Amino acid sequence: MIKLKTLEFYGIRSFSSLGDDNKLMHKINFHDNLTILQGHNGSGKTTLIEVIGFALTGNVPFSPGKEHMKSFLSTNQEDSQSDSPSAYILLRLEKGDNPFDIEWKLYSNGKKSQRQSNCILRWRQGMSECLNADTARKRISKILEISPSVIQNLLLVRQEETLWPFELTGNELKSRFDELFNFGERNDNLKDLVERRESLRKKLAELEDSIGPAKALDWKHAKLTTEREKVLENQKFYREEEKKTFK
């Protein structure tokens, strides 16, 4: 079982990073059994869900008609020229009895091509990994044993997307379920296995074809060896007979 323990972050949407110390950290402590988020419209409840979702998947929430990362960051930091992170997320959780931290640092200098993020995975026994975003997504999914698609479409669904199974077209629904159940990846793996098996079958056939001549050569070699041994024995016999004759 996975339990969320605490969430610390700044620089995301309405949760500005600008405070008295220029880094106003927002923190939430999760109760072991149940945590309820309550607030007026626009107070940031959905943003908190999106921050948790980003921490667990590394995927920026979809924003129609906008550049997703830019709309995800606080407006005070989206064009920052500083070397310090534009936004920061630290999610502490437990998987079973193992405490585990996921720390994201998001950077932006206002240019889409140069926006980036990196992630530090930390076990509180002292082990840690510093990864780029793509590698972190795969690593987190493997550690948590749950796919990003399940997290985004089933566990952390935004209010306006809760009816997605009934609102998507047939092809869109198929694509979404393919993501949820990894049908595409499984089909690719199956195709790869079939191709490998066919390759091995061809290689085996080639080996069997080459074994035939080799067996024939072995038989011929054995026959010639036997004949040679007979010739040598005959030579020895005749030498001994010659010696007897000329004594």
Residue 119, domain CATH = 3.40.50.300
> Which residues does 74 contact at the CB level (< 8 Å), separation at least 6?
10, 11, 12, 13, 14, 15, 16, 17, 18, 86, 87
Question: Burial of 198 by CB count in 10 Å (0-12 exposed, 13-18 middle, 19+ buried)?
Answer: exposed
> Does residue 137 carry a pLDDT above 70?
yes
197 shares a domain with 97: no
Alpha-carbon distance of 166 to 174, in angstroms, equals 12
Q: How confident is the model at residue 106 (pLDDT cuts 50, 70, 90)?
A: confident
Return the pLDDT at 91.
92
Give the structural domain span for 16: 2-146
91 shares a domain with 19: yes
* Domain count of the fold of the chain: 2
In a domain, 88, yes or no: yes
Question: Mean pLDDT, the chain, as a whole number?
Answer: 76
Continuous segment of H or E residues that includes residue 88: strand 87-95
> Does residue 75 carry a pLDDT above 70?
no
In a domain, 200, yes or no: yes
Alpha-carbon distance of 4 to 17, in angstroms, equals 23
Return the pLDDT at 200.
80
Alpha-carbon distance of 96 to 123, in angstroms, equals 13
CB count in 10 Å sphere of residue 63: 12
Please report, rounded to a whole number, the percentage of residues in the chain having pLDDT higher than 70.
73
- Who wins on pLDDT, 53 or 225? 53
Tell which of 127, 146, 165 closes a domain.
Answer: 146
In a domain, 100, yes or no: yes
Q: How confident is the model at residue 11 (pLDDT cuts 50, 70, 90)?
A: confident
> Does residue 222 carry a pLDDT above 90?
no
Model-level pTM? 0.61
In a domain, 137, yes or no: yes
CA 95 to chain centre: 18
16 shares a domain with 105: yes
In a domain, 208, yes or no: yes
Alpha-carbon distance of 93 to 122, in angstroms, equals 11
> Does residue 116 carry a pLDDT above 60?
yes
Tell which of 146, 167, 199 closes a domain.
Answer: 146
